[in-house]
Chains A and B, each alone.
Chain A
């Protein structure tokens, strides 16, 4: 890894808020989110379904319908604020500097064009290639993602491919322009683990070769542990913890992060009778608790938690956490009996 460039900031999201105008009034899906991505760094974003991961990602490319969307804050990409770019400036950034792999590949592939056409189109738009070069590049990219018979698949339409194959076409498209920043929204959820590991390797290679920064949105904590250097944990529109991948897994600070880690079914050791469950439900965006948003489900909640919202606080080297009592909780856990991952490492 290149130490010097590693420290270079690529993207900085600062106090981002995203408000949607809906029939029932304004809802704030992303509420004061800040984090950064350095060149060559892979940042994992995890959190409960509906907590605002995709909305945050889509904001970075300004893909949300701006008739109903209001942004606050800054999204600095190479020091330019994306939220202030004109449409033509934005088009230059999209696909060229920043690419995205979408959660739902079917809705982002055009059904009336062959997959080859769509990749070629993207290549011609953003790179200085002849049509011929672009065509062979498209096949090469498909091959890299492990699609069988890529020469044949380029001539097929999206509906002729299995779910996993469509996902790989999306990945080929996103990576073909060698972006500086890749935003991958659940890129491998539809894939089996051998194909998944092939794709993750591919992303890793590009990262090393071109110093690509990556935002990896996933609910697979195994993927996070394998490819991410830093992890941002979100809950109900806010970042509640940010730390290095090692620290998240060995000593998670926030009670929600702790619960999340305890819920994972293990692939080694004795099989549990019952999986751990975080009691209660995520409140809806129209009923956001006034204090700590996790308070209705938190076993450590006290008066202050229900009353006042904790801020995302820096703690020790590079840790950030949004919790009134994280130090006490940390002490109670004695840094020992926390996650099973930790005890597993000790045993093995």
Chain B
């Protein structure tokens, strides 16, 4: 592979460095829609042929319209949902083919931090107990070692020993989010999928959690798949970003390049719609007209053609392939 030198390379992590830790190939997840006789009448094509890779130590941001399949992509990678088709390669193994112990071992390496930290914590159990159970499931250490490990991880995410004995409701939103992170970290994974990890937090707590995510990433050489609607947050934390629309990956690029030079018409509209925290700046927004199509019957050709201001005849017929335009910057659009 030719390693191109780029002057504006803001991050050392590029696909060219070839340190791919996880490869997602042609992943599909369809949800059946059942009729009154429990027969499948049609399918929600939530993730529809998505491919991308994660580079060791990077943060890969995943953005896109609400309902475009981001969470489903994350859950299917972890096999919290069974994929309909496609491969997810980790460490030379296709996760989608693993069973039993092999699957359990891989799950130690891949963890998820959920959007709503409260609903994922058992309200009747102390935080220490909740965290120790995670270790127990994975058969790590004896009782004493487990307690010690929990104390360590609590400390790492900014708590004191006394927090070990508290219940979930005694923590604030931001604190619970840190518990979610502690739970993911405690079994020493190499990849964490963060699904809207800061969206319920106000900016001052959000900045604490984001800084913490970056600190532990450095310390443990973690790789993140970071799903979020907040494009300011995504810009801050991501090395590269993938943009999804209606189950497809339509653009992928290093962060600075994407924000300065978005190529796909959907990405342009998305970035233009970011509300700027400055009442003195009025930006021109690209308004998307037309209805968001249903993932049950995605449009033919380019899935964006029903709303794209640049749509041409070819767009209705042929699906554009994801191709590299400039260094590391890929787009699926007939304009390029």
Cβ-closest chain B residue relative to A221: B277
A17 to B64, CA, bound (A): 41
Contact, CB under 8 Å: B66 / A164: yes
The answer to whether B292 touches A193 (Cβ under 8 A) is: no
CB nearest to B202 among chain A residues: A219
B322 within 8 A of A: no
Q: Is B233 an interface residue (CB 8 A)?
A: yes
Instruction: For the complex, give the distance between the alpha carbons of A194 and B266 in Å.
Output: 10
Count contacts on B: residues with CB < 8 A to the other chain. Answer: 51
Identify the stretch in B50-58, B186-194, B279-287, B325-333 within 8 Å (CB) of chain A at 4 or more residues.
B279-287
A194 vs B66: C-alpha distance when bound (angstroms):
9
- Kindly state the separation between the CA atoms of A162 and B65 in the bound complex, as whole angstroms: 11
**Interface flags, B240-274, vs A, CB<8A=1, else 0:** 00000000000000011001000000000110011
Q: Are B291 and A196 in contact (CB under 8 A)?
A: no
CA distance A220 to B173 in the complex (A): 16
Most chain B CB neighbours (cut-off 10 Å) among A50, A277, A281: A277
B194 to chain A, nearest CB (A): 15
A219 to chain B: which residues have CB within 8 Å?
Answer: 201-203, 206
Determine the distance from Cα of A113 to Cα of B204 in the docked complex, in whole angstroms: 39
Q: Does A301 sit at the interface, judged by CB under 8 A? A: no
Q: A50-B173, A223-B275, A250-B280 are in contact. Are A189 and B211 (CB under 8 A)?
A: no
Contact A149 B274 (CB under 8 A): no
Query: Which listed residue, B10, B64, B276, B288, touches A267 by the CB 8 Å rule?
Result: B276
Q: Looking across the interface, which residue of chain B has its beta carbon closest to that of A271?
A: B236
In whole angstroms, what is the CA distance A228 to B73 when docked? 36
> A277 to B63, alpha carbons, bound, how many Å?
25
Q: Are A225 and B229 in contact (CB under 8 A)?
A: no
Complex formed: what's the CA distance from A277 to B212 in Å? 11
Q: Which of A164, A220, A260, A261 contacts B275, CB < 8 Å?
A: A220
B66, A344: Cβ atoms closer than 8 Å: no
A-B contact count (CB 8 A): 154
Name the distance in Å between A249's Cβ and chain B's nearest Cβ: 5
Which residues on the A side are within 8 Å of B285 (C-beta)? 197
Nearest chain A CB to B187's CB is how many angstroms away?
27
Residues of B within 8 A of A193 (CB): 229, 231, 270, 273-275
- With an 8 A cutoff between CB atoms, is B180 at the interface? no
Chain A 223-267 near chain B by CB (<8 Å), digits 1 or 0: 111100000000000000000011001100000000111011111
Task: Please provide the chain A residues from 277 to 302 with a CB less than 8 Å away from any CB of chain B in the complex.
Answer: 277-278, 281-282
Interface residue? B17 (CB, 8 A): no
CB interface residues, B 190-221, toward A, < 8 Å: 199-208, 210-211, 214
Shortest distance from the beta carbon of B12 to any chain A beta carbon, whole Å: 15
When distances are taken between beta carbons in the complex, the residues of chain B under 8 Å from A272 are 236
User: Chain B 284-318, CB within 8 Å of chain A: the 1/0 string?
Assistant: 01011001111000000000000000000000000
- A149–B291 CB distance below 8 A: yes
A267 to B259, CA, bound (A): 8
A146 & B292 in contact (Cβ 8 Å cutoff): yes
A222 touches B232 (CB 8 A): yes
B128 part of interface (Cβ distance < 8 Å): no
A263 touches B277 (CB 8 A): no
CA distance A348 to B280 in the complex (A): 11
Contact check, A192 vs B277: say whether CB atoms are below 8 A apart. no
Is B273 touching A344 in the complex (CB atoms < 8 A)? no
Q: Across the two chains, which residue of chain A brings its CB closest to B259? A: A267
* B174: interface (CB < 8 Å): yes
CA gap between A165 and B30 in the complex, in Å: 19
- Decide if B235 touches A197 in the complex (CB within 8 Å): no
- Neighbour of B207 across the interface among A221, A224, A275, CB < 8 A: A275
**Closest-CB distance, B298 to chain A (whole angstroms):** 11
Query: Once bound together, how far apart are the Cα atoms of A147 and B10, in whole Å?
Result: 39
Q: Is the CB of A246 within 8 A of B273?
A: no
| Contact, CB under 8 Å: A49 / B214 | no
* A246 proximity list for chain B (CB < 8 A): 279-280
Knowing A193-B273, A194-B65, A225-B275, say if A265 contacts B199 (CB, 8 Å): no
C-alpha spacing A225/B151, complex, angstroms? 42
Assess whether B211 is in contact with A263, with CB atoms less than 8 Å apart.
no
**Nearest neighbor of B238 in chain A, beta-carbon distance:** A271
Of A148, A191, A265, A281, which is in contact with the most chain B CB atoms at under 10 Å from its CB?
Answer: A265
Contact of B279 among A165, A249, A281 (CB under 8 A): A249
Point out the residue from A194, A220, A274 that lies within 8 Å of B288, measured CB to CB.
A194
**A155 CB, nearest partner CB in chain B, Å:** 13
A55 within 8 Å of B by Cβ? no
Partner pick for B277 among A50, A264, A271, CB 8 A cutoff = A264
On chain B, the residues within 8 Å of A259 by CB distance are 204
Does A163 touch B at the CB level, under 8 Å?
Answer: yes
- Which of these, A189, A194, A274, A345, contacts B278 with CB under 8 Å? A345
Q: Would you list 20 pairs from A and B whose C-beta atoms are within 8 A, ordered by A residue?
A: A47-B202, A49-B202, A162-B67, A163-B66, A164-B67, A190-B229, A222-B275, A224-B277, A225-B277, A226-B275, A226-B279, A261-B277, A265-B237, A267-B232, A271-B235, A275-B210, A276-B207, A277-B207, A345-B278, A348-B281
Residues of B within 8 A of A (CB): 10, 63-67, 172-174, 199-208, 210-211, 214, 229-233, 235-237, 255-256, 259, 269-270, 273-281, 285, 287-288, 291-294
7 new A-B contacts at CB < 8 Å, known A192-B64, A263-B204: A46-B202, A49-B201, A148-B291, A221-B203, A222-B276, A245-B279, A344-B278
